[in-house]
Structure formats: structure tokens, C-alpha cells
Amino acid sequence: MNSFAADVEALAKRVRGPVLTPRDEGYDTERAGYQLARWHRPDLVVGATGAADVRAAVAFAGDHGLPVAVQGTGHALAGTAGEGGVLINTSRMTGVRVNGRARTAWVAAGTRWDEVIHEAAAAGLAPLSGSFPGLAVVPYTLAGGLGLLSRRYGYAADHVRALDVVTADGLLRHVTEVSEPDLFWALRGGRDNFGVVTAIELDLVPVTTLYGGSLQFAGELAAEVFDTYLSWTATVPDEMSSSIMQMSYPDLPAFPEALRGRQAVHVRIAYAADVLDDAESLVAPLRALGPTGDTLGVLPYTEAGSIHADPPFPGHVEAGTALLGDLDTAAVRAILDQAPPHAPLPHVFELRHLGGRLAHPPAVGNAVGNRDARFLLNVISRLERAEITEVRPAHKRMFEAVAPWSTGGRLLNFMNGEDAAQQVRSAYDPEDYRRLTEIKAVYDPGNTFRLNHNIPPADDREHDRRAGMAPATVPVTPAT
Ligand SMILES: Cc1cc2nc3c(=O)[nH]c(=O)nc-3n(C[C@H](O)[C@H](O)[C@H](O)COP(=O)(O)OP(=O)(O)OC[C@H]3O[C@@H](n4cnc5c(N)ncnc54)[C@H](O)[C@@H]3O)c2cc1C
């Protein structure tokens, strides 16, 4: 047995979860995620059961000079999958504890939103979850987290109170605004560049019901529906979150006959005011366009996942994203000209309405950037239905077409294309990106956490600026 194999065997004895190399049965299952088009190919995958396993895995990587990757539910693999190193799978690390009086939830690293939504609802509260409740809470939140309640309350990252994180030196730190302010700022937006978060403490909000659902329109009405939707978004209150999506339905029996081989436009609504009495009058201009399907109504937050009805099963997906400013009729034409029926791809594209509270800095600053954007454009194609060689140029054409309206920024959570690595800077305001590289140089100078949307450490010339930023030499022991 060579020394690496002996060390792997020793690690397997220290860790409660599985420790698997590419030769071991179960390796593929352990590294599988929801995104099937790209996978991590680590030298070693550790199925962590808790912070002690994470510490052991990070220490092992440090001893062998290996990079570390982390995987929650693996939706973002198209932008983050890497070769070699140690992959830590957090999917066994689940658990939620709600404090109804403090309106907070403590959430373990691999927990999905649906668990938190369920526990919070019992206390008359809701988390700032996104369109799909099957996403892991921690990666979603660390990258910002744009949710159904975000125009009212802001990004999920704006509502983090504390984090437990294993840093590259193998230490477990309890990070708050007070204990390690620079790391606290950087983790909320800089995601996995500073360590493996083992648990997070989040604010919950007093929301139990929404007025929400979707309106479905025939594809032939796309121009009129997009134009009306865009003017409508300029009139709505901050409690109204919404998006518009066009989807090209495959000609398959799994879909309703009326949709097969055709396009449909869906407007998705999540209205979260304290009193919902004016909801019907607010959506009246959209209803007046003559939807062929209408699911709008009052629903409990526990059913909020039905609003977008994102597919819960894994798939081969290529996606791209851009942040846009105010949009006009010319922008709508530019987008629709690059989509079916005028162009063969993408299969799905959506505009999510930003602004409201998203445009304001949080009470305690963080690294989430691009708060001036008005819309998020996401462009998605299924690789089961088209070759990657057709998909990439089609997506590129769409982003070129909207360039006049682009802010140049992106949201990390939606950065999934082949060139995601080159796009990382665009997720941050320039001064914040510089600060992130400086904090990286303090907490991860060897760039152990580089199999991701990477923020490299600032080089030595930045040393003077980093002097006042030393990490706590005796990390605070997590209270949880
Ligand atoms: C159907 C669908 C709907 C979506 N809807 C929304 C939405 O409404 N709003 C939104 O903001 N985003 C949305 N997203 C994007 C989603 O938030 C990101 O893809 C997110 O990263 C998914 O979490 P995951 O566990 O699948 O990530 P993974 O692919 O497992 O990981 C993503 C990244 O997070 C890092 N990471 C994972 N766990 C940890 C940890 N414990 N500590 C540190 N870093 C970690 C990984 O290193 C990796 O770089 C959606 C994605 C999909 C596929």
C-alpha cells in the first residue's frame, strides 16, 4: 500500500461518513448532483456527517496539498465542477432548529429549504427561500439568495446572523459580525472561497400566506405579454415579487397536448403583503391579456414551490445569466428575436424582477454586489434536447442581443455557463472584489478552496492593507 492509500485508510477511520476513491463502489453516487452535465472528479470524496468530518477532510487535503470542493445538492455543478482534490459532500449534514421568539433558524450545511419552510411554518414564520425548495440552504444563501420574498426583505445573505465554518487551517470558527467581521462580511456573498460552512443561523420573517401562482399565455402573445409585464413591474409595490418565463415544450406525451411542440409564456407571482386584499386588483392588468391557465390565489408559504414548479429531477442543463437595467419594448424585441419560434434555442428563458429591498444595502454589510440591477435574465437549455455545440452559440447570441441593457454584472447563484470561471468578478462591485481577495489571502493564502467560482488571494503587494485583518488566533468555539 502506498502512503496516500494508507493515509486515506487512516482518514476513513477518523471520519464517520464514507471516504471513497474513484476505485471504490459508491464513488459515483457520492459525487452525483442534480446537474448531470458536469461532475466533480475528485481524488477522494468524503460524505461528511458533521463538522468533525469536515475538519478531518480539510486537514487531510492540507497535509497532501490538495484543493477542496464542497457539494450540497449539486445544482451548480455546471459552473463549479472540478478535477482532483477532496470533495466534501454535505448532504448527510441536515437539521433545523427554529427559535420562534428570536425569529431565527439554525440550519446544518446540507439541509434543503423544504425542511426549513416546514419547521418555520409551525412558528408562523418563513425563510427567505428561492423558487425551488429542493435547493440546499447554505450554498444558496452564501451566494446571495434571490427568493420569493426578496423584493420585500432583500437577499437571504442579508439576513445571516452567524456561521460555523471550517477554514483552510482546519479550524472550526463561529463567525459573527463581532467575532470575525471581515470573514463574516466575505462569507455572505463570497460563498465557498473562505471555508466549508457547517451551519448557519438565519433570520425568519413573519409570513404565513402569499397571494401567488402563475398565469399561462399562448406563445403567440409573447410580445404583448412581455411588454405589459414590463410596464406593470414599474407600478407594483415592493411586496410583489414576480418573473416572466417563456418555455418551449418538447413534443412529448408527458406534456399537455395543447402545449406539445409549442411555446408558452408564464408570469409567476408571489405577493407577500401583510394584507392581501388588493392582490386581485394588482394582477388585473395581466389577467386582462387572456391567460389560458390561471393558478393565482392565496396559498400557504409551505406551497410556495408550486409557483415556479421547477423540475425536481436531475438533468443535463446548460445555463447562462445577465443582470439588466430598465427594459423597454426594444429590449423585449431583442430577447424574443433570439428565442423560439424565431430561433431554435434556448428552451427556457426568464426575467426575474429585482429592485425593492434588493436595491438597498443590508443592515450589516456583505459582499453581495450589483444591487442596482432591475432584472435578472436566465437562459436555460436541456442538453437532452440539443447539442452543446448549438446551445452555447445560441445563448451567446441572446446575451449579445441584450448587451445594450446589461449592467455588466451577474448573480453568483445563476452563473453556470462554461465561462463561469471568467465571470466571477462580475458578481461583485470592484472595490468589494479587491477586499474579497485580501480576506482570501488571510484565511486561505494557498487557495485550498479553488474548485469553485474562484476568488484568488491578493498577492504580497497587498500585504500592508491586510495587516489589520488577522484572523482570530483562538477561534471562538461554536455554541451550537
Ligand atoms: C431549479 C433551480 C432553481 C433555482 N432557483 C434559485 C432561486 O430562486 N434563487 C437563487 O438565488 N438561486 C436559485 N438557484 C441557484 C442555486 O441557488 C444555486 O445553484 C445553489 O448553489 C444551489 O445549491 P446546491 O446545494 O445545489 O449547490 P452545489 O452545486 O452543491 O454547490 C454550489 C456551490 O456552493 C458551494 N457550497 C456548497 N455547500 C457549501 C458549504 N457548506 N460551505 C461553503 N460552500 C458550499 C460549493 O462549493 C459550490 O461552489 C436555482 C437553481 C436551480 C437548479
Q: How far is the CA of 342 from the centre of ligand 1 (A)?
A: 32
Q: How far is the CA of 326 from the centre of ligand 1 (A)?
A: 27
Confidence check: pLDDT of 85 > 70: yes
Probe residue for ligand 1, chosen from 137, 155, 192 as the CB with the greatest number of ligand atoms within 8 Å: 192
164-178, 315-329, 351-365: least confidently modelled range: 315-329
Assigned CATH for 96-206: 3.30.465.10
pLDDT band at 446 (very low <50, low <70, confident <90, very high): very high
Probe residue for ligand 1, chosen from 49, 53, 55, 71 as the CB with the greatest number of ligand atoms within 8 Å: 71
120-134, 187-201, 376-390, 464-478: least confidently modelled range: 464-478
Question: Which residues form the pocket of ligand 1, taking CB atoms under 6 Å from any ligand atom?
Answer: 33, 69-77, 80, 90, 109, 130-132, 135-136, 138-140, 142-147, 191-192, 196-197, 310, 413, 452
Q: How far is the CA of 363 from the centre of ligand 1 (A)?
A: 24
Confidence check: pLDDT of 480 > 60: no
Nearest CA to ligand 1 atom 41: 197
Distance CA 213, CA 57 (A): 43
Confidence check: pLDDT of 473 > 70: no
Domain locations in the chain?
3-89, 96-206, 209-427
Pair type for strands 196-203 and 160-166: antiparallel
Distance, CA of 155 to chain centre: 11
Q: pLDDT at position 423, please? A: 87
Q: pLDDT at position 221, please? A: 97
CA nearest 96: which of 150, 144, 136, 131? Answer: 136
Percent of the chain with pLDDT over 70: 94
Average pLDDT for residues 202-229, to the nearest whole number?
Answer: 97
Assigned CATH for 3-89: 3.30.43.10
CB atoms closer than 10 angstroms to residue 330:
10
Ligand 1 atom closest to residue 110's alpha carbon, by position in its atom list: 41
Protein fold of 209-427: Vanillyl-alcohol Oxidase; Chain A, domain 3 (3.40.462)
Q: How far is the CA of 338 from the centre of ligand 1 (A)?
A: 28
**Residue 54 per-residue DSSP state:** H
Probe residue for ligand 1, chosen from 132, 243, 308, 310 as the CB with the greatest number of ligand atoms within 8 Å: 132
pLDDT tens digit string along 216-272? 999 999 999 999 999 999 999 999 999 999 999 988 888 888 888 899 999 999 999
SS (H, E, C) 79-147: HHCCECCEEEECCCCCCEEEECCCCEEEEECCCEHHHHHHHHHCCCCECCCCCCCCCEHHHHHHCCCCC
CB atoms closer than 10 angstroms to residue 58:
28
Q: pLDDT at position 77, please? A: 62
Q: How far is the CA of 142 from the centre of ligand 1 (A)?
A: 9
Rounded to the nearest integer, the mean pLDDT of the chain is: 92
- The dihedrals phi and psi of 442, each to the nearest 5 degrees, come to -80, -45
pLDDT tens digit string along 39-66? 889 999 999 999 999 999 999 999 999 9
Average pLDDT for residues 308-324, to the nearest whole number?
Answer: 89
Ligand 1 atom closest to residue 195's alpha carbon, by position in its atom list: 43
pLDDT tens digit string along 409-442? 999 999 876 677 778 999 999 999 999 999 999 9
Placement of cell 446589461 in the chain: 406
Q: pLDDT at position 75, please? A: 72
- Burial profile 280-315: b = 16 or more Cβ within 10 angstroms, e = fewer: eebbeebeebebeeebbeebebbebbebbeeeeeee
Q: How far is the CA of 257 from the centre of ligand 1 (A)?
A: 34
The order of strands in the sheet holding 44-47 is 19-20, 44-47, 86-89, 68-71
Nearest CA to ligand 1 atom 15: 413
Q: pLDDT at position 350, please? A: 97
Distance CA 362, CA 177 (A): 13
